[in-house]
Amino acid sequence: MDTVMDPSYVPPSVLLGPEFLKKKLYQLSSPQDYTLGLSLVRVSSLYVDDLRRQPAFREDRYGTVRKVYVVIEHDMLAVVEYQRWMIANVEVAEVKVMDAGDHMSMLSAPEELAGNLADIANRYT
């Protein structure tokens, strides 16, 4: 696609292209939200070194926070298989599933996302 990655640049960087954004992040979002997203695109670090230096998730660091994962079934960037893998590797209290929305679900399915977040807040506070 039209995304440019430059691993030789320090830190390794990525620039998401307009076609990638349209097909993978904003495929269910409005044309206006896609256009706004295009205007916000910047070169970004892949954070490889930062992630390498981070200690592993452990009970003593993150165990006191109950985690809820919201699966976005139509996310073309973090596909469902990857989302399920993340769920399998980090203990979560609950899994919610959204049938609507793309990777930018706060734009493409705001009512469903807000409803899920409100349910989570009410249940776990």
Q: Which residue has the tokens 């910047």?
A: 42
Domain ranges of the chain: 1-54, 57-125
**pLDDT tens for residues 80-117?**
999 999 999 888 999 999 999 999 999 999 999 999 99
The answer, yes or no, to whether residue 51 has pLDDT greater than 80, is no
Task: Locate all alpha helices (DSSP H) within 1-125, ordered by sequence.
Answer: 18-20, 31-39, 48-53, 59-62, 80-89, 105-108, 110-124
The answer, yes or no, to whether residue 34 has pLDDT greater than 70, is yes
- What pTM did the predictor assign? 0.81
Amino acid found at 114: A
**Per-residue pLDDT at 57:** 67
Residues 6+ apart with CB under 8 A from 30: 107, 108
Contact 47, 75 (CB under 8 A): no
